[in-house]
Structure 1
């Protein structure tokens, strides 16, 4: 397979959209944390708030890793284009595979974060029924 400059460039819009999604997740999480912080001041011994804060802490770590691996994917794409520009096709091909791997890891972490988010919502819905 011949790798051209346009191949890694095709990932730029996809990675950019992922970052927009990740940023939205981060901003929503920040808002939730600020709201819970205020609630915890009014009710400092609530096990529900404590559990929600632990959940948000795990989600923050996952979002950090999602963003980190997404950034590595983006950097790898730029490096591939640089290598291809200097006719280092073999290295470009290898690094492009690495870029795809980072993108895959980022998406898998995103899936894990979504599962935690859904689990938290399930707990909230169950609590409303009691």
Structure 2
């Protein structure tokens, strides 16, 4: 199977959108961490501290998602260079590596989403418990 220089170029729009989404997640988490840090400084609430610890894990995952996404984009560009030089075998290998790096980035993204959903479910269950506890028994 021969690949052309256009094949790895097809990944650029997808990678750019993924990196943009990852950056948006990072910015949202950074803002949330700053807000929670200020709240924790004034209240020393252990629940807030636990949330910050959860966000630290998610922050590290997002950093790794971005790193693998950038590495995938670099491999795509390098693949295009090797194909331009006529090195088909090297181009195929590098393109395969780019796809693997992209898949790793997406798996990390799925992992980060799962952690986020669990944290939100805990928040909602806490709210539901408060609501149930406040209702008078009739």
Q: Identify the TM-score tier after normalising by the shorter chain.
A: over 0.9
Where does structure 1 differ by over 6 angstroms across 4 or more consecutive aligned residues? none
Question: Do structure 1's residue 20 and structure 2's residue 13 form an aligned pair?
Answer: no
User: Equivalent residue for 1:66?
Assistant: 65
TM-score by length of 2: 0.92
User: Equivalent residue for 2:29?
Assistant: 29
After superposition, the CA RMSD in angstroms is: 0.7
The unaligned stretches of length 5 or more in structure 1 are none
Residue correspondence of structure 1 range 81-92 to structure 2 within 5 A: 81-92=80-91
* In structure 2, C-alpha distance between the alignment counterparts of 1:107 and 1:48, rounded to whole Å: 30
* In structure 1, C-alpha distance between the alignment counterparts of 2:61 and 2:106, rounded to whole Å: 11
* In structure 2, C-alpha distance between the alignment counterparts of 1:22 and 1:64, rounded to whole Å: 8
* In structure 1, C-alpha distance between the alignment counterparts of 2:24 and 2:58, rounded to whole Å: 13
Aligned length: 129
